[in-house]
Structure 1
């Protein structure tokens, strides 16, 4: 059996106010071609399909057009997609009855039976191979929110509730499968030891007990397809537990590595190979600085001029980071003037001061902090420190986490 593993599409994402629909369209066209050429049995999409719980119509059209095109091109292809922490689980599942006709399984939430047992049956997806025989089972684990895995039957410990869900689902899968059938888990979670992209990965749970242990996936699981972390990586060096990473760089901190999907081959229960398939970058992200303003203006002057025959949608996104000795009220004007006629699209100017001496709006190093660079817990911690003159305690952070979780769940309602 052969599978493609991908995740973190973030359809509908904006880069500092600039939409990325062209880039997502290029990726989906490339992925469709790869499916047509290689003809894998299964496509796994491990969460964060959309960038927000209420994605724009264009982003939803991208997803459903892709699914229809993939099915028309390869009617035997099975697609399994789960909700991530950026997604609304109920929105992901809303068209599920229609998508099943296209051999696409959309799982957004875990549900519980009246007796308090996990409804494991809906989370176990049969995976046929090219001959039509069931070669494996997919254990679908959408992002598990605290309200879904705590309560009367599971207690109030979030990590313990997650562990119980994994244990019950794996037990049900082992009872269902026949000899030689592989178990493939697809999950959206932050695994302990994973390398994080700070600028674009929203913290899953506030507090210290966020990262999950790889031991949740025992040796009976042949492969674990993970989503959430945007950099392709193994978990604890294990070949069978992987993040595929995002298909495009979602922030300027993600431009230093090649984005990819993973091509997985199994023989029965045995994992034979995991091969990366590198995704062409439709639009480059370019960062200048940090450097003094005079150096930045010189670098801007050296940028290539606009080619009127070139596709303007492929012009690089540009971030400029300037180091200042004193305020420059006309900083943006100077930079925009220097960029006139240049083949780049400016999306962000970041300024930092050397030796700011505690200037308002700067951190201890003198770097200016923008709101879009801070997580909700960081904003809360800074506000607490400003108001009370001391660091926020752990219990207050946990209480804030619960309040934030309630707000996020309310915002998910379609």
Structure 2
């Protein structure tokens, strides 16, 4: 019995106005080939299939076509809803996809037995049981109560999620015992989830799912399933030092800070109920890079891309201490002739102490200096307009204080607008 564990596809993601369709198509083709080459019985997708609750038509097309192609390989699919997914969108095709051996579990409500899914082996017999648990919304497992403190709600939600896991695990154990009497062997129990476990490393693109309530789910609160396939965290990792509780991570980088970790899917092969776990690296389908340093360092790093045949998406963080009104123009000049696109340009944050020291060294502007000269070009027009209005109204009686306010606002702005070259 072999399964592939993946999650957080985020089909339809808009990445700094860039379309990810070609990357997602390449990944799904690779995933199907990997399943074929390894005779995989089932693929588990642990939530966030789509990036938004209203995915674009091409994202739905990729999803449906993947189900069709997996069925041709006689590969079963278990597709779970995540916090980004719409329950209604996943449910609208649920009954149809069932005929293609795709089990869709969009939310945690419903009959317990319907959320324990059987995976069939190559002989058509049950080879594993899955507690198919998607993203659990609070209303799925608990009723709303007024006058309850935030800390109490946090505890109640954690206990309700734990109870849901153990309830489905007991149902799976009951089915496991019945199958053992029929088949003469014990089949493994797999659990899934789409949540934040305590102690995990997150990335910029991960959205909080229980804002103001549950901070994380303890690893010892999971039932003793043979393997637990998790989604929501985009960096692949184990949970609570337990090799059988894992996040597969997202298959493509969904933010520039995800470049720090390699992408993977997890292949799990069971010998009786013992899992043999083998992460498989996902190829890089779109070159991306994050550059940091002063302008001289940035220029040196850009030189490495002179021979690149495929367009590289860049995030550039400049650490110059002085404000540069022509930063965009300087970067644009540096990348001329290179096969790159700058999707993100920003200035590095300086420490509060450095900012204070710099402000002390700057002399006050003279009264007769035009107020517009102190407005950063990096500020949004609406903010700049508001600041000019404040300065003009209070300029005569509060000239010195107004200029100090201007400098303080100026020093706090550290990010230039995103632009493309």
Given the two structures, how large is their TM-score scaled by the length of structure 2? 0.78
Q: Deviations over 1:128-157 (max 9, x none)?
A: 11111101211111101112221179x952
What SS class does the counterpart of residue 264 from structure 1 fall into? strand
Which whole-Å CA distance do the structure 2 matches of 1:152 and 1:324 have between them? 51
Alpha-carbon distance in structure 1 between the residues aligned to 2:214 and 2:414: 29
The residue correspondences of 1:319-398 to structure 2 (distance < 5 A) are: 319-352=315-348, 354=350, 355-357=354-356, 359-360=408-409, 368=415
Q: Which has the higher helix share?
A: 2
| SS of residue paired to 1:254 | helix
CA separation of 1:235/1:70 partners in 2, compared to 1, >3 Å: closer, same or farther?
same
Question: Of 271, 292, 295, which residue of structure 2 is paired with 1:293?
Answer: 295
* 2:78 counterpart of 1:98: no
Question: Pick from 238, 241, 247: which aligns with 2:242?
Answer: 238
Q: CA 1:304–1:163 in structure 2 vs 1: closer, same or farther (change >3 Å)? A: closer
Q: Separation in 2 of the partners of 1:127 and 1:362?
A: 59
Larger relative contact order (CA 8 Å, sep ≥ 6): 1
Which residue is 1:401 aligned to?
Answer: none
Distance 1:304-1:253 versus aligned 2 partners, 3 A rule: closer
Bigger drift between 99-108 and 8-17 goes to: 8-17
Where 1:356 maps in the other structure, the secondary structure is helix
* Residue 192 of structure 2 is aligned to residue 186 of structure 1: yes
| Pairwise CA distance, 1:184 | 0.8
* Equivalent in the alignment of 1:35: 35
Does residue 281 of structure 1 match 2:284? yes
| One of 224, 227, 231 as aligned partner of 2:231 | 227
Structure 2 residue ranges without an equivalent (≥5): 181-185, 360-407
Count of aligned residue pairs for this structure pair? 350
Distance 1:102 1:150 in 2: 33
Alignment of 1:98-177 (within 5 A): 98-112=96-110, 119-151=111-143, 157-177=156-176
Q: Deviations over 1:386-406 (max 9, x none)?
A: xxxxxxxxxxxxxxxxxxxxx
Cα deviation code 1:28-63 (max 9, x no counterpart) = 111111112112111000001111111111111111
**Alpha-carbon spacing, 1:353–1:252, altered in 2? closer, same or farther (3 Å):** closer
* DSSP 3-state at the match of 1:141: coil
* Secondary structure at the counterpart of residue 409 of structure 2: coil
Q: Distance in 2 between matches of 1:151 and 1:370?
A: 44
- Aligned-partner Cα distance in 1 for 2:15–2:345: 13
RMSD of aligned Cα (Å): 2.3
CA contact (8 A) 2:77 2:102 kept: yes
1:304 is aligned to: 305
Structure with higher Rg: it is 2
Cα distance in 1, alignment partners of residues 220 and 335 from structure 2: 52
| Deviates most, 344-353 or 38-47 | 344-353
Change (3 A) 1:286 1:202: same
Aligned equivalent of 1:210: 215
CA offset digits 1:282-318 (Å, max 9, x no partner) = 11211111x2234324543x243477xx4xxx42210
Distance in 2, matches of 1:173 and 1:248, equals 33
Contact 2:9 2:48 in 1 (8 A): yes
Q: 1:186-245: per-residue Cα shift (whole Å, max 9, x none)?
A: 111111121211x111111123632111223222x1110000111111111112111111
